[in-house]
């Protein structure tokens, strides 16, 4: 089992991680090529809730109208009303998240660290090209494409409290958006010169009681879309083209919070707000129920071949692994990494504590690097949020080895991360970070000593009042273990946005 005690210490204060070279994570001063480019920049269940309120008002009226209605009807109404109130309070005590507002519920179950005050609410690379979608705090979505002179901005009256965005596989134009009251599927022509596609370009997918939507996942074939809501015990399987859905409902759990479709299309991970999660197989749509000991499943990711699931549990500091094979028989989750708090001495003599609870996981498409976002402690300066990177191998046996820490500038906190799904020369990790400053700054710098990336993103200004946040987006390069680069060899530019 791998632990943080086996990791090399983080970089000295003031240094930022840039890339991996010779099995070590290097800081920005390794090449001197880092460029900094600065730019300015509760409906839903609520059909059911309204019905409940309406029925309660009728009962209250009957109870209070003793002189008008028969006594037996008034007394019966009082008993039914008391029973309904007891059931409601009991249900709320079993599933406390149901008492939260929509925004608080999204923040509780989001993969983004401190979602409410994060300028970037969601981020997603297209699975086949070098373009990405960014959902911002003002509920707008921007699409950046290096091959296009325009930067489309997507806005819709139903596009509120965006929790996730997901590009449709094998399609250049379709983007699914998890919103407060529905799922929007935008169809944005990559050849269009329009900066502001009309709302007619968006399909609205909604189902009574299925809101807020906190997670989305496309089938690798792009044929189906699944969505999750913490207040709905059913996972919705959508045929987006037909705008129809099939609810997959199971008793227990209190809702569905997080979804992840395996790369081979055979399984879907479905987390719940309770101490259990389910793994659905997609041939017959049956599921296995996996209880957790302490809390809910916080995050999970699949190996490239879909045979292994790594997941974390809220309140725990370990990573578990589940293996799915054709061999029948009982299975058990195995602990593969321990990320308990560990103290390091940095090269400049400082003492820093790293480890603790895990916010999210990301596994690169080659299955060679695993990134783990650690929450840290916002009240402890010496225990910041940080990203730990592991080297991984899935065949012939599964191995997890320490690589190092991705460190930001002082005061800059990583919020979300994703590996580029189609980078040819190794693992390219995108990290979006945020701290308090007077402007928004985007850093898209050198991604390796041999790969340069430059960008000039369109200006935008977040409507936050003062102070405005600082947004930082970094690209970290981890060379493939099967790809060697000479000291003077130049790789092609991986990202160039004009």
pLDDT classification of 99: cutoffs 50, 70, 90: confident
Residue 73 has pLDDT above 90, yes or no: no
Instruction: Assess contact for 227 and 234: CB atoms under 8 A.
Output: no
Residue 359 has pLDDT above 70, yes or no: yes
Lowest-pLDDT range of 270-274, 364-368, 460-464: 460-464
Average pLDDT (473-483) is: 52
Residue 396 has pLDDT above 80, yes or no: yes
Mean pLDDT of the chain: 77
Q: Which fold has domain 103-316?
A: Methylamine Dehydrogenase; Chain H (2.130.10)
Task: Please give the share of the chain, as a percent, with pLDDT higher than 90.
Answer: 48
Average pLDDT (55-82) is: 57
Average pLDDT (304-326) is: 93
Lowest-pLDDT range of 86-90, 237-241, 284-288, 293-297: 86-90
Predicted confidence (pLDDT) per residue in 206-215, tens digit: 999 999 999 9
pLDDT score recorded for residue 330: 60
As a whole number of angstroms, the distance between CA 399 and CA 373 comes to: 19
Q: What residue has token string 């602990």?
A: 335
Higher confidence at residue 115 or residue 29?
Answer: 115
pLDDT score recorded for residue 58: 52
pLDDT classification of 479: cutoffs 50, 70, 90: low
Question: Facing residues of 2 across strands?
Answer: 337
Phi-psi region at 463: left, alpha or beta (left = phi > 0; alpha = psi -120 to 50): beta
Q: What values do phi and psi take at 274, rounded to 5?
A: -100, 180
Helix, strand, or coil (residue 343): strand
pLDDT classification of 481: cutoffs 50, 70, 90: very low
Give the closest residue to 240 by CA, choosing from 283, 205, 206, 189: 205
pLDDT score recorded for residue 192: 84
Higher confidence at residue 261 or residue 145?
Answer: 261
- Across 139-143, 328-332, 348-352, which has the greatest mean pLDDT? 139-143
Average pLDDT (86-113) is: 77
Higher confidence at residue 149 or residue 488?
Answer: 149
Lowest-pLDDT range of 44-53, 193-202, 383-392: 44-53
pLDDT score recorded for residue 407: 78
Residue 92 has pLDDT above 60, yes or no: no
Average pLDDT (469-492) is: 41
Predicted confidence (pLDDT) per residue in 108-158, tens digit: 999 999 999 888 999 999 999 989 999 999 999 999 988 888 899 999 999
pLDDT score recorded for residue 469: 32
As a whole number of angstroms, the distance between CA 363 and CA 111 comes to: 14
Predicted confidence (pLDDT) per residue in 401-444, tens digit: 998 888 777 778 889 999 999 888 778 888 888 653 322 333 23
Average pLDDT (52-80) is: 55
pLDDT classification of 326: cutoffs 50, 70, 90: confident
Burial of 18 (C-beta count, 10 Å sphere; 0-12/13-18/19+): buried
As a whole number of angstroms, the distance between CA 371 and CA 403 comes to: 10
User: What ranges do the domains of the chain cover?
Assistant: 46-94, 103-316
pLDDT classification of 452: cutoffs 50, 70, 90: very low
Q: What values do phi and psi take at 306, rounded to 5?
A: 75, 10
Instruction: Assess contact for 358 and 313: CB atoms under 8 A.
Output: no
Q: How many secondary structure helices (H) and strands (E) does the chain include?
A: 3, 36
Instruction: Assess contact for 361 and 300: CB atoms under 8 A.
Output: yes
∠ CA 33-38-39, rounded to 5°: 145
CA dihedral 216, 219, 224, 229 (to 10 degrees): -20
Higher confidence at residue 55 or residue 237?
Answer: 237
Q: What values do phi and psi take at 33, rounded to 5?
A: -100, 5
Average pLDDT (473-484) is: 50
Give the closest residue to 193 by CA, choosing from 148, 129, 140: 148
As a whole number of angstroms, the distance between CA 287 and CA 256 comes to: 14
Task: Please give the share of the chain, as a percent, with pLDDT higher than 70.
Answer: 71
Residue 345 has pLDDT above 90, yes or no: no
Higher confidence at residue 55 or residue 147?
Answer: 147
Residue 376 has pLDDT above 90, yes or no: no
How many other CB atoms are there within 10 angstroms of residue 78's CB atom?
Answer: 16
Higher confidence at residue 261 or residue 430?
Answer: 261
Residue 488 has pLDDT above 50, yes or no: no
* Full strand arrangement of the beta sheet holding 141-144: 120-125, 132-136, 141-144, 153-154
pLDDT score recorded for residue 275: 92
Average pLDDT (62-83) is: 60
Residue 138 C-alpha from the chain's centroid? 18
């Amino acid at each position: 089992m791998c632990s943080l005690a086996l990791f090399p210490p983080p970089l000295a204060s003031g240094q930022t991680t840039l890339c991996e070279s010779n099995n070590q994570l290097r800081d920005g001063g390794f090449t001197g090529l880092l460029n900094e480019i600065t730019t300015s920049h509760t409906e839903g269940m609520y059909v059911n809730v309204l019905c409940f309120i309406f029925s309660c008002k009728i009962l209250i009226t009957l109870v209070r109208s003793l002189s008008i209605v028969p006594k037996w009807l008034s007394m019966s109404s009082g008993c039914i009303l008391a029973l309904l109130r007891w059931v409601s309070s009991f249900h709320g005590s079993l599933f406390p998240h149901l008492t939260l507002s929509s925004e608080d519920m999204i923040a509780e179950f989001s993969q983004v660290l401190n979602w409410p005050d994060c300028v970037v609410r969601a981020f997603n690379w297209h699975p086949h090209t070098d373009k990405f979608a960014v959902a911002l705090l003002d509920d707008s979505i921007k699409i950046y494409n290096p091959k296009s002179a325009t930067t489309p901005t997507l806005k819709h009256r139903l596009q509120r409290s965006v929790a996730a965005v997901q590009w449709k596989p094998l399609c250049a134009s379709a983007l699914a958006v998890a919103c407060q009251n529905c799922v929007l599927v935008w169809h944005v022509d990559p050849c269009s010169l329009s900066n502001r596609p009309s709302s007619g370009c968006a399909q609205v997918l909604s189902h009574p009681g299925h809101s807020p939507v906190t997670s989305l996942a496309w089938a690798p074939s792009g044929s189906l879309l699944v969505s999750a809501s913490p207040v709905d015990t059913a996972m919705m399987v959508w045929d987006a083209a037909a705008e129809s859905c099939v609810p997959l409902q199971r008793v227990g759990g209190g809702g569905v919070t997080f979804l992840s479709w395996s790369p081979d299309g055979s399984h879907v991970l479905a987390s719940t707000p309770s101490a259990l999660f389910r793994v659905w197989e997609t041939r017959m749509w049956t599921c296995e129920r996996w209880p957790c000991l302490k809390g809910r499943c916080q995050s999970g990711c699949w190996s490239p071949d879909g045979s292994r699931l790594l997941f974390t549990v809220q309140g725990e500091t370990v990573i578990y692994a589940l293996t799915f094979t054709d061999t029948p028989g009982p299975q058990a989750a195995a602990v593969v990494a321990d990320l308990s708090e560990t103290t390091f001495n940095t090269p400049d003599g400082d003492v820093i504590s790293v480890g603790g609870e895990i916010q999210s996981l990301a596994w690169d498409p080659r299955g060679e690097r695993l990134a783990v976002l650690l929450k840290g402690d916002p009240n402890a300066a010496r225990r910041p949020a940080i990203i730990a990177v592991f080297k991984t191998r899935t065949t012939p046996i599964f191995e997890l080895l320490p690589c190092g820490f991705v460190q930001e500038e002082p005061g800059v906190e990583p919020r979300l991360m994703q590996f580029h799904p189609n980078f040819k020369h190794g693992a390219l990790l995108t990290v979006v970070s945020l701290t308090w400053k007077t402007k928004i700054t985007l850093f898209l710098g050198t991604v390796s000593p041999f790969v340069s990336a430059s960008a000039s993103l369109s200006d935008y200004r977040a409507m936050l009042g003062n102070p405005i946040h600082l947004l930082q987006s970094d690209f970290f390069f981890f060379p493939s273990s099967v790809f060697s680069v000479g000291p003077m060899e130049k790789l092609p530019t991986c990202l160039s946005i004009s």
